[in-house]
Amino acid sequence: MKLNARIRNYVYFGLFVGFIGVSWLVRFEPGMEMGNNFYLFAKDMVLILPPAFVLIGLFDVWAKRETIERHFGEAADARGFFWSILLAATTVGGTFVAFPVANALYHKGARYSMIMTYVTAASLVMIPMSIMEAAILGPLFTAVRILVSLPLVILGSILIEKILVRRGYRIPDART
């Protein structure tokens, strides 16, 4: 019996919920802990995602294609990487928000390297995370981590873009 992917995901989720429920009934500690962790994660997502998706929708509507192409597209120079990193630093919600924003950037004409720099930098240079890291580990550690990581991110993004372009890769359009 072959199930399509959507039904299979529902079955897996149902099995997971069933496992958590049975774990609570028989007091199975690892299962109970998994349930607690899932609850905390789900609660965070319910609080973060709705406002984030509203902001992403506004970005998609308000950001003009010409502006994105000028700063992130084929005509963008090295300043495009600066804009990608700056946008990433101000993105709240981590990669849960970064991927939909990256999709909006792509559909408005951003280059692959700018998109990959943005997505990767979104997990490296978020302002709140960097401030907390500097307070705990010290500003020097944070500065060194960022100054070493960002050039590698940019170089890696350029290299991956060259490979993707050479192979003629296109991101599938899920909007249609």
Q: Where do the domains of the chain lie?
A: 1-48, 63-176
pLDDT digits (tens, 9 = 90+) for 107-164: 899 999 999 999 999 989 988 889 999 999 999 999 999 999 999 999 999 999 999 9
Amino acid identity, position 136 = I
Residues ≥6 apart with Cβ < 8 Å to 173:
107
| Residues contacting 172, CB < 8 A, separation 6+ | none
Work out the average pLDDT over 37-44: 91
8-state DSSP, 168? T
Between CA 16 and CA 8 the distance in angstroms is: 12
Is the model's pLDDT at 172 over the cut of 70?
A: yes
Closest CA to 124 of 169, 167, 81: 81
Average pLDDT over residues 32-56: 88
**pTM of the entire predicted model:** 0.75
pLDDT at 174 over 60: yes
